[in-house]
Structure 1
Amino acid sequence: MLAVTPEGLPLGVLGMKTWVRPEEEFGKKHQRKIRSIHEKESVKWIEGISHLAALKRRCPEARFVCVGDRESDLYELFAAERPAGVDWLVRAAANRRAQHPEGYLWETVQATAPLGRTELLVPARGNLPQRTAGLTLRCATVRMRPPWRPQTRLPEVDVFAIQAIEDAPPDGVEPIEWMLLSSVATTTLDDVLERLAWYARRWTIESWHRVLKSGCQVEARQFGSLDRFVRATALFAVISWRILYATLLARIDTDLSCEVLLQPVEWQALYCHTQHTTQLPKQVPSLQQAVLWLAMLGGYLNRKHDRPPGPTVMWRGFLVLHEVTKMYRLFRQNE
């Protein structure tokens, strides 16, 4: 679980679960409908809500919204107990039965009048060029009918459904469509736009995964035992967050001092190395400038039309900075 602000700044790793699938469990996918949620890997989403509930007691003024992709479309999650101030927002995967004349989720939402429209910039992918997609927005309060479970009887649940669908996609291109479900009241166009913005922040954890796998090379590590691997993965999880945090914080607030990210010895080593001097500046460099120097250590070219530095060059830059800082300490220890 990664904590992210509505503006997209990752605040840290809230929790992490590590498990290994027992060999005897392979081949049991066909039994998923008769197994309880606590016997499935999907229980991690329920545990995530419980984790946030515990955190809520320590941070009573904070509001928590657990955002998940289609894998988290679990009826048990919708029905799970949670305290006030702990909510969820997931992308629907199943067209669930609804207690409405239309009978099902998608049809119920489609039967409502559109609230408005918005535009989404779709990046280039493969042979498809970048384009701006026009999305029609709808929302509805839907009473969901519970699925059958052998061990328990689940209650009906009211959810707020939000649909964003592309109304005029290019020829041969599948239209963009999001169907989001939330426990947070959603009735107006502003509410819908806010929920869409919340869901868009889910991609932050994909960037975190990319740093963890490509930067920290966690999948290539060979530690000799599972316990060592788990401990190392927990450490790399925090390192990956710090790299992502550094990358995005400089974009959000350019006037911050670099000491919000770097220790004095780190920025001093960075300054002396990049500026080829032994004289420190009179003022502490800004975070934006320090991040640029870090990125250039990692191979960022800083050309006029280059995009802002990304996590990959920041990861490489931090590796170089670690070595530079060690040498800086050695040369300064007798001063």
Structure 2
Amino acid sequence: MPAKGARAQRTASLTLRYAPVRLQPPKARATQLPVLDVFAIHVIEDEPPAGIEPLEWMLLSSVPTHSPEQALERLQWYAQRWTIETWHRVLKSSCRIEARQFGTLERFVRATALFAVIAWRILYTTLLARLDGELPCEVVLQLVEWQALYCRVHRTTRPPDKVLSLEQAVLWVAILGGYLNRHNDPPPGATVIWRGFLVRHEITEMFRIFNSSS
């Protein structure tokens, strides 16, 4: 379980159960619904630490689940929910997809396809920097982008010869987006990365202009 607020990171030991179940339709409906056969997967923390609410999930899946390995796989799928929700938050809050008025469905589909890729890139950059910050930043930034970023941070016109690490580049982008980088702050999240990418875009364009005129 990841740390959240005052809650410390911890490892939870869970009891796993799974079984096929049949869901009966409500009898009060005017239109009769069919019986639904699904697979229930239940996990619960039997011995949580004192004062901690036990972790418990009850999943209903249409995917056949007949073994512990299959049940664990379904749980791993569900565990990706938080990452998917973060992607949706970037798409809605940062890209403001819901606030845009496109006029036609065709425009909406085209814009959503574009913003979906942008939101994915922001989230991918955020998570990759946490997983392997020693990677070269060129895995997510073009040459001119990280050079412009370096020159902005160091207030110089001469970019370095050595490629920045991903961790360093993402930290600088996050600071541009309002990340305070205090000692006890958690790693930068997708929101400040998004804001920093907007600033970095303007910096890169100015860097292109000044270098083309020199």
Q: Does 1:289 align with 2:168?
A: yes
Work out which of the residue numbers 181, 186, 191 in structure 1 matches 2:61: 181
Work out which of the residue numbers 54, 76, 97 in structure 2 matches 1:218: 97
Which sections of structure 1, spanning at least 5 residues, go unmatched?
A: 1-119
Q: Secondary structure at the match of 1:218?
A: coil
2:114 corresponds in structure 1 to 235
Contact 2:15–2:44 (8 Å) recurs in 1: yes
Q: Does 1:322 align with 2:201?
A: yes
Going from structure 1 to structure 2, the CA distance change for 1:185 and 1:273 (only over 3 Å counts) comes to same
Out of 208-217 and 160-169, give the one that drifted further: 160-169
Task: State the distance in 2 between where 1:331 and 1:239 align.
Answer: 27
Task: State the distance in 2 between where 1:174 and 1:321 align.
Answer: 43
User: 1:152 offset after TM fit, Å?
Assistant: 11
Q: Does 1:251 align with 2:123?
A: no
Going from structure 1 to structure 2, the CA distance change for 1:221 and 1:153 (only over 3 Å counts) comes to closer
Task: Map 1:123-138; keep pairs closer than 5 Å.
Answer: 123=4, 130=7, 135-138=14-17
Equivalent residue letter for 2:209: L
1:219-260 CA deviation, whole Å, 9 max, x = no partner? 222344444333222221111111111111111222321111
Task: State the distance in 2 between where 1:180 and 1:143 align.
Answer: 9
Q: Secondary structure at the match of 2:18?
A: strand
Task: State the distance in 2 between where 1:211 and 1:294 align.
Answer: 16
1:164-204 CA deviation, whole Å, 9 max, x = no partner? 12446788x6973322436365523x554443222111222
Q: Secondary structure at the match of 1:179?
A: strand
Q: Secondary structure at the match of 2:14?
A: strand
TM-score by length of 2: 0.79
Task: State the distance in 1 between where 2:198 and 2:143 align.
Answer: 17
User: 1:207 offset after TM fit, Å?
Assistant: 0.6
Higher strand share: 1
Equivalent residue letter for 1:215: S
Contact 1:139–1:160 (8 Å) recurs in 2: yes
Equivalent residue letter for 1:187: S
Equivalent residue letter for 1:239: I
TM-score by length of 1: 0.53
Q: Does 1:300 align with 2:199?
A: no
Going from structure 1 to structure 2, the CA distance change for 1:226 and 1:251 (only over 3 Å counts) comes to same
Alignment RMSD (CA, Å): 3.3
Q: Secondary structure at the match of 2:59?
A: strand
User: 1:304 offset after TM fit, Å?
Assistant: 1.8
Task: Map 1:132-281; keep pairs closer than 5 Å.
Answer: 135-140=14-19, 142=20, 144=22, 161-167=40-46, 176-181=56-61, 183=63, 185-188=65-68, 191-281=70-160
Going from structure 1 to structure 2, the CA distance change for 1:324 and 1:198 (only over 3 Å counts) comes to same
1:81-133 CA deviation, whole Å, 9 max, x = no partner? xxxxxxxxxxxxxxxxxxxxxxxxxxxxxxxxxxxxxxx46845xxxx63766
1:76 corresponds in structure 2 to none
Contact 1:166–1:177 (8 Å) recurs in 2: no
